[in-house]
Each structure stands twice: as C-alpha cells, then as structure tokens.
C-alpha cells in the first residue's frame, strides 16, 4: 500500500466521521460505558461521604393513632453504607440502561441501512 493511498483512506474515514456518515459508536460506546462503570462508584462514594455529615438521619414523626396528633420526631439513622449501596445500584442501572439504548439505536440504524427497500 502506497503512503498516498493510506493518507487518502485516513482522510476519507475522517471526513466520514465528521460528516456523520460513519459512526464510531460500537467501540467508543463500550469504552465510555466501562470507564463510567468504574468511575461512577467513586463519584457516588464521594457524594455520600460529603453529604452524610450534613444529613445524618431522617426524622420520622411519632404519631398518636388514637388522637391523630404528632408529638415529636424520632431520629432514624441510615448508615452511609446503605446509602452508598442504594445509590450505587441506582446509578449503575441507569448508566447501563442509557448505554443499552444507544447500542440498540445504532443496531437498528445499521439494520435499516442494510435493507434494500425499493430495490
């Protein structure tokens, strides 16, 4: 392969990517997903760690059922470990759904482009 042919291929691929005729999605989406799957737990941990000191417990009202009155508040401590685990699970599931949507979108696009409609 001549250097000029290689240069022309690089230019063609670059123009294809810049004009959105060629998508870089399959490799890039998987790479970004795995980077995010590793980085998001760290972000959730830091968020929980910094906000737990500001919101140490949830207070539930103590209710007299017979009289229908609220007396005082009972603090119910929530462990930062549980907040982290729930936050981690919610963030990872949302992250996965977000990327599954993109993968499905690009697979549908490829399937539609592969059809010979009207041919």
H or E segment and range at residue 58: strand 57-64
pLDDT digits (tens, 9 = 90+) for 71-114: 555 555 677 788 888 888 999 999 999 988 988 888 887 788 77
What are the tens digits of pLDDT across the range 21-64? 777 767 788 888 999 999 988 988 888 878 776 665 555 556 55
CA distance 64 to 98: 45
Give bridge partners of residue 49 from the DSSP assignment: none
Domain extent listing, the chain: 26-99
CA angle 61, 65, 67 (to 5 degrees): 105
pTM higher than 0.75: no
CB-CB contact of 58 with 78 (8 Å):
yes
């Amino acid at each position: 392969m001549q250097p000029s042919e290689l240069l022309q291929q690089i230019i063609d691929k670059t123009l294809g990517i810049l004009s959105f005729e060629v998508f870089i999605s399959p490799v890039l989406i998987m790479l970004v997903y795995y980077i995010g799957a590793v980085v998001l737990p760290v972000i959730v941990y830091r968020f929980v760690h910094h906000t737990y000191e500001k919101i140490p417990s949830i207070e539930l009202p103590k209710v007299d059922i017979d009289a229908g009155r609220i007396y005082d508040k009972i603090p119910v401590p929530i462990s930062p470990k549980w907040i982290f685990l729930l936050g981690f699970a919610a963030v990872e599931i949302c992250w996965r759904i977000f990327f599954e949507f993109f993968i499905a979108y690009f697979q549908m696009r490829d399937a539609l482009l592969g059809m010979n409609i009207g041919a």
